[in-house]
Amino acid sequence: MEDRTPVISFEKADVTGGDSIVVYGLDMNVMPGDFIYIVGKVGTGKTSIIRTITAENRLAGGRGSVCGYDLDGIREKDIPYLRRRLGVVFQDFQLLMDRSVRDNLEFVLRATGWKDERTRDRRIAEVLDAVGMKNKAHKMPHQLSGGEQQRVAIARALLNSPEVILADEPTGNLDPETADGIMRLLTGINRKNGTAIVMVTHNLSLVEKYPGRVMVCGNEACVERTGDGVSPASETESHTETEERTEEQSEAEEQAEETVQQKGHDKTPYGAAL
């Protein structure tokens, strides 16, 4: 029987970004095999939702669960185990630049408890083959193109057979042709493995070309866009109209959020955070 238990569930959840709530009353269920986009203007809480899913940001209200873990009551010691059930792909790849492709992947496997060398070697070969990079294991990151580095990052995300892949602007630093290749790879993983994917993007042309469910963030809300286009969050009333942000404020908030995220990951791949 098909499992219809959500791998991610939010119910009336208030999502924080920094010291303030950026999304009020989030309702979202991600089922196994779903492909969901989160779209919206800069500073509307898209990345904050991703960081809430990974338990970097705590909920300010409501309920949330990810892969069986309750976000509103998760213990610090359980967070690494939650994250092992997630694969995370970043816009800027976040590979260790002083290590080869193979050593980047082995680092994560060692950190997440893979003790047998032959088993590690086999898994590395499997994920590199899955992303079309099996002949690049010996290369250093600086010897790869941007698209190749992102493929390695996706391979890293696949190492522990995640229930969900979180992709935060995975095509943001890529040219259109390369971005299209990354989208074909992600949608192929989604279809073949049944892995749920939640992807933040500004690129609406990709959303149109590779259809999926769409959550639209704006005006302190994030709601699902229906088939006829009604009720996008960008057209709803603000939760607090007197606190409406300017575009400049939103951009500053997004930059601050990205800085915090970068500091958290600039030396250790996400899947290896213990």
Q: What is the pLDDT of residue 2?
A: 58
Direct distance between the N- and C-terminal alpha carbons of the chain, in angstroms, rounded to an integer? 34
* Per-residue model confidence (pLDDT) at position 4: 76
The encoded tokens of residue 170 equal: 């995975």
Mean pLDDT by 10 residues, the chain (274 residues): 82 94 97 96 94 95 96 93 94 93 96 94 97 96 96 96 96 93 96 95 93 95 76 38 39 45 44 45
Asked if 188 contacts 10 with a C-beta cutoff of 8 angstroms, the reply is: no
Give the predicted TM-score (pTM) of the model: 0.82
So what's the pLDDT on residue 117?
Answer: 95
Q: What pLDDT is attached to residue 158?
A: 96
Which residues lie below 8 Å from residue 46, measured CB to CB, with a gap of 6+?
Answer: 38, 39, 40, 200, 217, 222
Q: Where are the domains of the chain?
A: 1-85+164-267, 98-161
Query: Which phi and psi (to 5°) does residue 28 adopt?
Result: -155, 130
Give residue 248's pLDDT: 41
User: In this structure, what token pair is assigned to residue 64?
Assistant: 């949330």
- By the 8 A CB rule, do 197 and 210 touch? no
The CATH code of the domain at 1-85+164-267 is 3.40.50.300
Q: Give residue 19's pLDDT.
A: 87
For residue 65, what are the β-bridge partners? Answer: 9, 70
C-alpha 114/C-alpha 146 separation (Å) is 28
48: which 2 tokens?
């904050």
CA distance 98 to 176: 28
Q: What is the reported pLDDT for 18? A: 85
Maximum Cα interatomic distance, the chain, rounded to a whole number of Å: 60
